[in-house]
Amino acid sequence: MSSRELVVLGTASQAPTRRRNHNGYLLLWDDEGLLFDPGEGTQRQMLFAGVTASRITRICITHFHGDHCLGLPGVLQRMALDRVPHGVDVCYPAQHRDVFARLRHASLFHDVLELRERPVETAGPVVQAAEFALEAQPLSHSVAAFGYRLVEPDGRRMLPDRLAAFGITGPDIGRLQHEGRLVSGDRVVALEEVSEPRRGQRFAFIMDTRLCDGAFALADGADMLVCESTFADTEAALAQEYGHLTARQAGRVAAESGARLLVLTHFSQRYERGDEQLLADQAAEAFGGPVVLAHDLDRIPVPSRHPAAEDATEAGGRG
């Protein structure tokens, strides 16, 4: 059972279909809930998915095309209705503060929300939480757009057999973790002697964009990469013109960035009739790793960290 998983609320680009709602993604990460790009209908999709408005602790909007933000008024008003007691960060491209303000106040409601606006001007850190940093990178779309990634700092995993060998138990373990060394009997034990490196997990979220440096930077070493894949190979010219990725390009981003799991979403309505598997196939050809074709209301666990995978990733020469 994972306490880190992606709840897929919608997977359609531009126009929703019978089977796909507009975009919407809630990343459950321990006690945090990060809502990405709430398109139209997100409030109701959350109901179907069994997640409440009070689960939301941060909101990230990549850009202000409707399929990525028209659900924001409903979600905010639902949060107010439910009297969500905690403050919520809202990240969005600073260039379109005016659009955010309109969505924020799109209709009249009893506004008891404590929103902390984090307009994003440039690449870099946006939110520093206790357990992770949230960073943004510019994307290449037809309007100002930023992708996001969540980076958990590297830590150390305590090794029970080593602790036992040194006779370290109870509160001494916490003391050693905190201070890095501990006097045990007649010797000093260093943290490195009883633990091993544990790589922090990373989650990347890339929406509407052409191939660009920002996309690769976001995906770097991601355990889970959620990436738009609006089109198949045959529509590559359309993708370039309108600032989108093909599924194969999404696969390339995952491959060249050393991502572990690629989640494809944001599909054109032209793939409604079951030919969407084509997109997964084309991405898989470029990636070589596991590809998940997202469907509405899927719950996709963030891959658990295991030593073998960490070694492989580190050997892969992440920069």
C-alpha dist (Å) from residue 244 to 19, 20, 164, 185, 269: 22, 19, 54, 62, 14
C-alpha dist (Å) from residue 170 to 15, 131, 176, 177, 307: 57, 24, 11, 12, 25
Which of the ranges 19-27, 63-71, 101-109, 232-240 carries the binding residues for Zn ion, by CB under 5 A? 63-71
Residue nearer to Zn ion on the CB measure, 63 or 149: 63
Closest approach of Cβ 103 to Zn ion, in Å?
15
Which position among 67, 208, 223, 296 bears the catalytic label?
A: 67
Closest approach of Cβ 146 to Zn ion, in Å?
12
Burial of 143 (0-12, 13-18, 19+ CB in 10 A): middle
Size of the site for Zn ion (CB under 5 A): 2
- How crowded is residue 16: how many other Cβ atoms within 10 Å of its Cβ? 19
Cβ atoms of 13 and 68 closer than 8 Å: no
Which of the ranges 62-70, 259-267, 289-297, 307-315 carries the binding residues for Zn ion, by CB under 5 A? 62-70
What region does 83 belong to: left with phi over 0, alpha with psi -120 to 50, or beta? left
Locus of tokens 């919608």 = 10
Would you count residue 22 as binding Zn ion (CB under 5 A)? no
Residue nearer to Zn ion on the CB measure, 208 or 223: 208
For the question of residue 111 being annotated catalytic, the response is: no
Residue nearer to Zn ion on the CB measure, 95 or 184: 95
Interacting positions 173-232 with Zn ion (CB under 5 A) = 208
Residue whose CB is nearest to Zn ion in the complex, by number: 65
The CA distance from 137 to 206, in Å, is 9
Residue nearer to Zn ion on the CB measure, 66 or 288: 66
Q: Which of 4, 22, 58, 65 binds Zn ion (CB under 5 A)?
A: 65
Instruction: List residues binding Zn ion (CB under 5 A).
Output: 65, 208
Active-site annotation, residues:
67
